[in-house]
Each structure stands twice: as structure tokens, then as C-alpha cells.
Amino acid sequence: MAKREMRKSLKWDIDNLFKSPETAEAEFQQAIKRRKLDDSTSSTPPRVRSDPRDALKPKLLLHLTRLGDGHRLDCENLANLIHYCIFGSKSIQKPRWATISQHRYLLQTLVVRVNVEDNFFATTNLKFLNEFFDRHWLELGADISDRRLFWNSLMNVRLDLKEQIKRKTDRMQKTFDLLGKFDRSHFVLTTEQMAERNFPFPGEEGIVATKMRYKKITHSSPLYSVDCEMCETTHANRELTRISLIDEKQNTILDTFVKPRGDITDYVTRYSGITAKMMEGVTTTLEDVQRAIQNLLPPDAILVGHSLEHDLSAMKMTHPFCLDVCHSLNYTNNVFENRNSLKSLTEMFLGEQIQTEYGHCSYEDAWAALRLAQLKIQEGIVFGVASYGWKYSQYREEQKLKNGDGEILKSTQNSTVAPIPCTGCLGPTVVGCTVVNCRCRFVAGPAQCVSCCVRNLVSEEGDFDWRETLEVDLEMERVTSPIENYVKKDKMKSVLMGFEAPEVLEKMPEMGRKIHLKLPSSFPTYSSFIDNVASEMLNDSAIFIEIDRKKVEPLPRSSPEDDEGEVVDNSEALNEILEKLVAATTKNAAIMMIFSSPSKNTLFKNIK
């Protein structure tokens, strides 16, 4: 039901977004009329509306204390906020001090910069400003007064962490050096490789680090292998429903079902091995699992897995030392395009079967990844990678000579181990596995259940903060990319520039359907410029406009008998311009108005 409503609302928004200029113009005129009508009937009490879309209205929250005491948003901050409004947190680095809920319903961002004189607010009262923004205003940093800096900041988007890392391969060497370069670390993914593969990184929204502080890895840093099972839920496409973590001795350290936030809509049992019956009465949450893992892992743990970025994304966790067997082993030539499945790697290199018709158990997947990682460390960098010149046929021959048959590294356990109850609460410590003769029954289980791990264990911390080592690198240079690159990536995005761009921009963007320009100076009057922008802006996701208060023509005077010598007041006209622009935006548009004078800058912000 909720889903259907959401879809309906989205369709409504999209229909609105793609209205032709003619219908947009008609809509705009109607909006103006409605607005006037509202004003004239303001004495009647407001109607109570139960529009379901109101619940989906985006909200913009600023947590300015996170910027530090007395800190004001400067040009870079403000641009970051505006880009967050336009592109959302998926494509850009979201500011830590701002949150937009229901961002996907925020379809348009209108930014109006009004250049005013220093005593503007002391002498001018804009009715519309007070009404529309209520008290949603804040003072900005002094550098906003520099309009060149302002527009150049807006037209260049700060690269997100992953993007910056990708572009700075050589510089990442410094971080890599800090992380250590001994035996096992050769097999650990570099930060750059992790960025390329879209691993979660510290500081990303909703991502929790496995440690506050890590320790440099050494030849004796322990391996821990992890595998997650996911189900489809109403909350997310893939949500964590089971996780197995095992140590180097193949013993289970943690094995639990996890109650997803949303209701499960598809158990994808064929892949997850999870059924509705298994999930009955499960109360362990993702947060419990995260805390247990923080307590269980040592600060120099090397996390092992197959396509680990999927597991870490499901766990909503980040970890700096990752050994991914699908990166370390690839017997087909195409290392980066084509991953070998865990099942085929296990058959190929271990001569063992997993994920058989008997069912699927996450312990077995974690076990297989661990064995593959151990084999790789034992055999070296070139081993198992066809693109490095390694040949399977040759390897197979060598193995036959060594062992007399084709069996490689068979597992050794042969008696089942009865599960021992939790030493803390006597509850179960592992998941009741349903796979016939599953390997998980032949190994020792954890001493404590998840909640006892959270309650009784204390996280062992190392000596450096991973995030800091990444950020030190980032501060070296402010890396940005022209906004056009971001706009081109998303077919829903386009920018309308309504300011003297050639005069202020260091580099003009390439004009076209995605970015277009309306020069205020090319219109006979300011009001014709505003009318033109307002009639066409419905099609654009971002509208950047600059208005010089001095140049705004006053409204035609109604009382011609006024004193001849008096300075003509244009505040009514300015008021009307701002009102017109806001009226022309779509529903749920983010409206940012920046009043900039040489010594004072003020931001008015609201969601329409």
C-alpha cells in the first residue's frame, strides 16, 4: 500500500518535472493566481489536508555544531550543501553537518544570490522572505561576499572520498606504507582497489568502523573470514539476515541470524539458505552484530571473504585490511571484469564442494574463502592469477607429482562437535544449520552468544585512526570536478545558469541540453529575465540565479505625486521577483537564497 502511494507520488513529481514549457508557463501563471487568492482569503482558517505526499516531503536539517563553535558556512561548505541537495549522498560526499531525509523526492534546487548593500536588512523588509522562510535563516562566512569564488565553488563539485582515492593512486602509497608491508599485507587490497570495488569507507552515511583505532598489520596478523546472507525486505534490496565469522583454525567465532529492519519480502532461499521458519523469533539486530564484531576482532585483523564489499555493505561496516579471494585468485584471464565464483574457486583450488543441492550455509562460504586465502598466502602473489602468467594445467601436474592424485589440501575434521551453550547466558551460540553433514557441525563454536559478546567483551584498540590517514591525504589538495561531469552521469539532472557566467567563471562549462545559460544582461529588463527563467525552470533540477538589487527596476508607481527628488525604492519589485521564482519551482524544491553584501552574508533556506 505504502509502496503504491510512493510510486503514485513519484509519478506525479515526474509528470511535473517533464511538463512542456507551455504547460509549465500555464502552471506558473496559475500558481501566481493561487498565491494571490490565498493572500486575499488569509482570514479563513487553513484547511486540514491529509495529503499522503506530506509524509514524503524532504526535510533539510543542519547540525552546525559539528562544524565547531561559532563556525559559519563558508563558500566551500555552502557549495557542498547545495550539491548535496542536487545530487544526494550517493553521488557526492555528503556534508557531515547536514541531513536531507526523503532526498529522492527533492527534485529541484533553486539558488538565488542577491547582491545587496551593507545595511539592506536594516532598511528593507521583504514580505515574501519573512513569510516563506519563517525563521529559517543563518549567517554565512565572509568569503561568500566574493562572487567569483561563490560561483566557481557552485560550478565545481567536491569529489567524494572514493573518487579522490581513485585519482590519487600514487599518493595512497603513504597510507599503504603506514598500514604495513609484510608477508600477509601483500595480499590485502590497497585503499585504491577498495575504492574501485566500491567498498564502504569510514565517514560514509550509516557506515560503522570495525575499530576506533587499528594496528599496523604484521606477518602474524590473524585472518578472520566472513560471509553474510541477505534477504529482500521492505527496507532495502538486500538486508543482512545471517552472518558467519570464523577464525584461522576454521572455528566459528560468530554465527547468527539477524532481524532485518524491514519485513522480508523474499527469502531468496536458493542463495541464502534462509527460510521463514528459521527467522521465527530472531531478535538479534544489525547493531548487536556490529558491536559484537567490534569486540571480537583484534585491531590488526585481516578480514577474508569473497566479494567482501557486498558483505561489508550488508554489515554496514568498514575495515582497512581486506583479503578478497575473488581478487587474489582468478584462473580466467580477465582479472577485473570477470570474477570466479566462490563455488568454482573452491572446486578448482581446494577440490571441495560447497553450495550443493543439500543447501547453503554461510559458515561453509566463510570456510571456503579462508582456505583459499590460506592457500594463496602459502603459494604467493602470482599463484592462481591467470593474467600474471599462472597456468592451471601446470599447477595440476605439479600437484599430481606431489600427492599422487589431484586432491589438494583436503580438510581434516572428521567428527562432529556438539554445540556448547553460551558461557554467559547458557543460550545457543550458533545457528541451527539445516544442511546435511554441513562443515559447520565439525568445528568448535563460539564461547558466547552475540548479546553476551556485546555485554561482556571489551574491544581491543590499536594506535591509529584509519579515517585520519585517509583524510590527511585529502587535505593536501582540494579536489573538485566540474558540475557538468555529475550532471552528465544522471539523465534526470540539468542545470540552468542565470548569472553572468562568462564574467565570473574560471572555466565555462560546455553548453547544451544538460547545462544552459540565460545571461541577465541579454534581457532588456530584469523582470523580463526573471519571467523567462521562471517560465522554463520546471525542466531543470538546479537553477542558479544572481540578482543585483541595484539593477532591479522599481514597480510602476501608483502615486505619481511623490516627491521628485526621493530615491526610488525597488524593494517591492525585488519581493515580487523572489516570489515569482519560488512559485515557479516544483513541489518539494529546495530553496536557497543568499543575500550577500560586502560585510554580511545571510542564507535563507526552506523546502517548498
Binding site for Zn ion (CB under 5 A): 361, 363, 422, 424-425, 427, 433, 435, 438, 440, 449, 452
Q: How far apart are CA 602 and CA 577, in angstroms?
A: 18
Pairing of strands 156-158, 302-305: unpaired
- For residues 161 and 93, the answer to whether their CB atoms sit within 8 Å is yes
- For residues 311 and 370, the answer to whether their CB atoms sit within 8 Å is no
Question: Which residue(s) pair with 547 in the sheet?
Answer: 114
Question: Which residue(s) pair with 99 in the sheet?
Answer: 61
- Do you know the residue count of the chain? 608
Nearer to Zn ion, 128 or 363 (CB): 363
- For residues 530 and 581, the answer to whether their CB atoms sit within 8 Å is yes
- For residues 333 and 282, the answer to whether their CB atoms sit within 8 Å is no
- For residues 334 and 304, the answer to whether their CB atoms sit within 8 Å is no
Q: How far apart are CA 333 and CA 554, in angstroms?
A: 71
Nearer to Zn ion, 325 or 433 (CB): 433
Q: How far apart are CA 393 and CA 478, in angstroms?
A: 50
Query: Which amino acid, residue 42?
Result: S
Q: Which H or E run includes 59? A: strand 59-62
Nearer to Zn ion, 14 or 436 (CB): 436
Q: How far apart are CA 417 and CA 546, in angstroms?
A: 73
Give me 65's grid cell. 555544531
Select from 85, 86, 151 the least CA-distant residue to 113: 151
Q: How far apart are CA 429 and CA 422, in angstroms?
A: 6
Query: Which amino acid, residue 321?
Result: F
- For residues 300 and 217, the answer to whether their CB atoms sit within 8 Å is yes
Q: Cell 591467470 identifies what position?
A: 386
CA distance readout (Å), 573 to 221, 461, 530, 570: 70, 62, 11, 5
- For residues 56 and 102, the answer to whether their CB atoms sit within 8 Å is yes
Nearer to Zn ion, 292 or 470 (CB): 292
